[in-house]
Amino acid sequence: MPVGTAVVLPDSEQIQNPGFPPYRPRVSDLDPKKARSNERRIALLFAASMVGSVFAIVAYIVFPINANDPGSIRLNNLFLGLGIALSLLGIGIAAVHWSKALMEGHDLSEERHMTRGSEATRASAAEVFHLGNKESGFTRRKLVRNTLIASLALWPLPGIIIFRDLGPADQDANDVLRHTMWKAGTRLTKDPNGVPIKASDVTLGSVFHVIPEGLDDREDALEQKAKAAVLLMRLKPEDLHVSKGRENWNYHGIVAYSKICTHVGCPVALYEQQTHHLLCPCHQSQFDITHEAEVIFGPAKRPLPQLPITVDSEGYLVARSDFHEPVGPSFWERDHT
């Protein structure tokens, strides 16, 4: 038996194993009366299980589900469940109690053998491989062997290739992720009812959850919404720190930012009207709306993209253009156009 390089205490130093301790008899072993009472107890538990099963069937009928009454579902769930639980626990506890109190209680010992096969067995196993090789010429006929290996390596490839159409064939991910439904003149409307928003509706301290006009008519409404969802709020114009080139992206302090987190894409929807912080409830990234949604805490790196907005002739808020960068989580080719 291989020992390896471990250094262990030599056998002579070790203390002798004292052998099995004497059997400690149980009450049921000593007193037939106790054994009988245990027997009764076990039978009682099995009987409790039967009661549970019947109770569950009765509960199924007696506690039906009534339409528009969650209370009836609660009762159905509770009593059916408790009945089933009683029927299960009765059997389980009875069986275990039986095994502990009444079944033969002596510990038994079984011999253990080394896991590896005996030398003779190993030799015959090696012989099998040897014969296999000899009779097939596996190592001798190199050409056959090598072509076999090569063909085996190639055959799964078609099986991998056919999975290509799991993804759409005609879409360039980079292109699709780059564009949203917003374009110049698209009205900002309320989520979920699609009512357009006037600039005057957006009072200081309020926040609007916004979708582009016409979203619901789209076949791919959810995919579009996953990119186009926007949060709209009004700050005092002097609280906004507007960078060069974005001067006309807000409308008298009304700003619109993508609601999709630049970390992994949860909706960043928690707006604090006094601190002007936005918080993502998934990973706690925080964005400062007064500083163009720059990250002030958490794992996100990039600010939320801003949607340039203005009003149309009727006073409704509209987008000036699409976002100027891809919304949502970063991806490898996002700045590669």
Of the two residues 135 and 335, which places its CB atom closer to another protein in the complex? 335
* Chain centroid, CA 42 distance in Å: 43
- Which residue, 7 or 120, is less far from another protein as judged by CB? 7
What is the C-alpha separation between 333 and 337, in angstroms, rounded?
8
For the purposes of burial, counting CB atoms within 10 Å of the CB of 238, is it exposed (0-12), middle (13-18) or buried (19 or more)? exposed
Q: Is 257 in the site for another protein (CB under 8 A)?
A: no
Region from 96-104, 127-135, 138-146, 305-313 binding another protein, contact rule CB under 8 A: 96-104
Based on the shown chain and the rule CB under 8 A, indicate whether residue 96 belongs to the binding site for another protein: yes
Using the rule CB under 8 A, is 23 a contact of another protein?
Answer: no
Q: Please tell me the distance from the alpha carbon of residue 316 to that of residue 185, in angstroms, as a whole number.
A: 10
Which residue among 152, 153, 160, 203 contacts another protein (CB under 8 A)? 203
Rounded least distance, CB 139 to another protein, Å:
28
Tokens at 213, concatenated:
């006009």
Q: How far apart are CA 144 and CA 131, in angstroms?
A: 18
Closest to another protein by CB, 143 vs 166, is 166
| Binding residues for another protein restricted to 183-202, rule: CB under 8 A | 190-192, 197-198, 200-202
User: Binding another protein by CB under 8 A: which of 33, 36, 100, 122?
Assistant: 100
Residue 7 or 128 having the CB closest to another protein: 7
State the Cα–Cα distance between residues 293 and 263, nearest whole angstrom: 13
**Nearest distance from residue 166's CB to another protein, in Å?**
5
Instruction: Report how far residue 334's alpha carbon sits from residue 324's, in angstroms, rounded to the nearest whole number.
Output: 12
Phi-psi group of 292: left, alpha or beta (phi > 0 → left; psi -120 to 50 → alpha; rest → beta): left
Q: Site for another protein (CB under 8 A): which residue of 188, 233, 309, 327?
A: 233
Measure CA 323 to chain center: 31
Neighbours of 92 (CB within 10 A): 12
Is residue 273 a contact point for another protein (CB under 8 A)? yes
Core vs surface per residue 47-85: b (16+ CB within 10 A) or e: ebbeebbebbeebeeebeeeeeeeeeeebbeebbeebbe
- Residues in 148-177 at the binding interface with another protein, rule: CB under 8 A: 163-164, 166-168, 171, 173-174, 176-177
CB of residue 153 vs another protein: minimum separation in angstroms? Answer: 22
Cβ 289 vs Cβ 278: under 8 Å:
yes
Tell me which of 62, 99, 147, 243 binds another protein, using CB under 8 A: 99
Smallest separation, CB 151 to another protein (Å): 27
With a CB cutoff of 8 Å and minimum separation 6, the contacts of 218 are 181, 224
Q: Residue 295 CB, nearest distance to another protein (Å)?
A: 5
By CB under 8 A, name the one of 21, 156, 159, 245 that touches another protein: 21
Candidates 254, 255, 289, 300; binder of another protein (CB under 8 A) is 300
211 interacts with another protein by CB under 8 A: yes
Give the nearer residue to another protein in terms of CB position, either 139 or 164. Answer: 164
* Angle between helices 70-101 and 32-62 in degrees, nearest 10: 160
Residues 308-327 as x/- pattern, contact with another protein by CB under 8 A: --------------------
Instruction: Give the count of residues interacting with another protein (CB under 8 A).
Output: 144
Residue numbers 121-150 binding another protein by CB under 8 A: none
Question: Tokens 């999975």, residue?
Answer: 163
